[in-house]
C-alpha cells in the first residue's frame, strides 16, 4: 500500500541508463530513489545547502520486481516509515505503466560532523519529517502489491 504522504517524483528514463539487455540498468534504481528523496532532504536542510548538510546514508536495500524500459516515464514514490532519536527510515517504490518495478528501503542518520558522531534529530527537522511519516508494514520487499 502506498500512503497518501508519499512524495511523487516523475522521471524520464534516458538512453544512457539502459544496458545491453535493453532495459534500464539495475543501478539506476538507486539513483532514481535518491532523486525521490529531494523533499526529504529539503525537510532537513530547506535550502539544500551542503554547508548545513546533516545526514548520512548508512544502509540501502533494493528489491527488483520487474524490468524497467526506456519508452515510458516512471514514478518514484517516497515516504518516511520510521523516525528514531538520531535516524530515520525511508521506503521507496518505482512504478512504470502501473506496475511496481523496484522497492527500496534506506536509513539515514543525523550527524554532528564536528564531533563526527550521530546526533539527535532537531525538533524542527523532526516536525517536518513527521509530515512525511506513514505507518506502513516493515520492508520485506512485498509491502507493495
pLDDT one-digit tens code per residue, 57-86: 999 999 999 999 999 999 999 999 999 999
Compute the average pLDDT of residues 117-129. Answer: 97
* Phi, psi torsion values for 77, nearest 5 degrees: -115, 130
Residue 139 has pLDDT above 80, yes or no: no
C-alpha–C-alpha distance, residues 55 and 119, integer Å: 10
Q: How is residue 71 written as a grid cell?
A: 519508452
pLDDT (0 to 100) of residue 22: 85
Residue 103 β-bridge partners: 63, 93
Topology of the domain comprising 7-130: Thiol Ester Dehydrase; Chain A (3.10.129)
Confidence of residue 145 (pLDDT cuts 50, 70, 90): very low
Please list the alpha-helical segments (H only) found in 6-130.
27-36, 38-44, 123-130
Indicate whether 40 pLDDT > 50. yes
Band of the pLDDT at 16, cuts 50, 70, 90? very high
- How far is Cα 81 from Cα 18, in angstroms, rounded to an integer? 30
For 70, the 3-state DSSP assignment is coil
User: Cell numbers at residue 72, please?
Assistant: 515510458
Q: How far is it, in rounded angstroms, from Cα 118 to Cα 94?
A: 30
Residues 6 or more apart whose Cβ sits within 8 Å of residue 34? none
Question: Structural domain boundaries of the chain?
Answer: 7-130
Residue 106: pLDDT above 70?
yes
Give the pLDDT band of residue 92 (cuts 50, 70, 90): very high
Q: How far is CA 26 from the centre of its chain?
A: 15
Amino acid at each position: 500500500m502506498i500512503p497518501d504522504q508519499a512524495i511523487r517524483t516523475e522521471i524520464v528514463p534516458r538512453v544512457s541508463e539502459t544496458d545491453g539487455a535493453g532495459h534500464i540498468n539495475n543501478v539506476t534504481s538507486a539513483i532514481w530513489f535518491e532523486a525521490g528523496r529531494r523533499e526529504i532532504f529539503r525537510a532537513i536542510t530547506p535550502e539544500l545547502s551542503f554547508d548545513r548538510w546533516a545526514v548520512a546514508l548508512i544502509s540501502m536495500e533494493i528489491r527488483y520486481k520487474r524490468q524497467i524500459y526506456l519508452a515510458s516515464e516512471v514514478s518514484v514514490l517516497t515516504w518516511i516509515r520510521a523516525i528514531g532519536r538520531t535516524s530515520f527510515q525511508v521506503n521507496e517504490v518505482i512504478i512504470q505503466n502501473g506496475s511496481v518495478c523496484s522497492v527500496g528501503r534506506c536509513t539515514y542518520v543525523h550527524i554532528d560532523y564536528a564531533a563526527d558522531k550521530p546526533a539527535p534529530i532537531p525538533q524542527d527537522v523532526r516536525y517536518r519529517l513527521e509530515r512525511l511519516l506513514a505507518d506502513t508494514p516493515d520492508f520485506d520487499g512485498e509491502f507493495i502489491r
